[in-house]
Copies of this chain bind each other. A is one copy, B any other.
């Protein structure tokens, strides 16, 4: 059956810049390695998305409609459908003095951050530094190879796929989520380990909202999504869970700095389109 808007699917893709053939994003580990963009912390393989849900570039969402499970396709994406046109106002001239104040020696190709946005130094001459704050892929024609690996039919699997997409936490086992759908209410009790996440609760709330929204917008007759943290009067189990958590936390502490950077990279790499949309 052909894929339609609102379908939950697993998608493989590789995105290249048309002009250069350079791969900038892929779900394939080998392709990433060859292109020199492999991230150790990233989990490669098909990612779950909702077709038309804005999880991928608009041009890809449109191309997916009508494809069949297992089908592959090449998709050309214009800058307008991709990362936008280049904005001349984002090409800025900065006096050399600004860099000197901060003890920096500007060089062509160097990335700098200002007010949270990243720019690339394009030229240095006559006491002026030209910095390009446009998205690296703005103005580029792109080419994607996409493959619909699976159309997800089962309701519980649909819900799990959205948790997988929005809730990038290590140590969480998708098999351990307890998901019930009763009278239009989805009740999600996540893997016990999720309770020991060190991220701010507010961030968890935003992730949960995205999961809930994707569920009620794309699954029929769902009006409410509840995330439930259960505490039971079984002292041994609770103690055991706490112990596991302690171990995990100790391990994590070692890699904490690394993980933080990697998590940000994952967020940028796996979900560039989503981040862009929001």
Contact = CB atoms under 8 A, between A and B. Distances in A.
Interface of A: 194-202, 204-205, 208-209, 212-213, 216, 222-233, 238, 245
A223 B232 contact: yes
26 contacts: A194-B201, A195-B201, A197-B201, A197-B202, A198-B200, A198-B201, A199-B200, A199-B201, A200-B200, A201-B201, A201-B204, A205-B229, A208-B229, A209-B231, A213-B231, A224-B230, A224-B233, A225-B230, A225-B232, A226-B228, A226-B229, A226-B230, A227-B228, A227-B229, A228-B228, A228-B229
A215 B226 CA distance: 22
Contacts of A223: 232-233
The 10 closest A-B pairs by CB, nearest first: A212-B231, A197-B201, A195-B205, A216-B233, A227-B229, A198-B200, A225-B231, A196-B202, A223-B233, A224-B232
Contacts of A245: 202
Nearest to A205: B195
A225 to B, nearest CB: 5
A116 B153 CA distance: 53
Contacts of A201: 194-201, 204
Contacts of A195: 201-202, 205
A229 B245 CA distance: 22
A238 to B, nearest CB: 7
B196 A197 contact: no
B198 A197 contact: no
Contacts of A208: 229, 231
A177 to B, nearest CB: 15
A238 B232 CA distance: 30
Nearest to A234: B223
Contacts of A200: 197-201
A196 B223 CA distance: 22
A115 to B, nearest CB: 16
Q: Which of A194, A200, A222, A224 has the most CB of B within 10 A?
A: A200
Contacts of A212: 231
Contacts of A196: 201-202, 205
Contacts of A213: 231
Nearest to A233: B216
A121 to B, nearest CB: 31
Contacts of A198: 200-202
A195 B219 CA distance: 24
Contacts of A229: 205, 208, 226-228
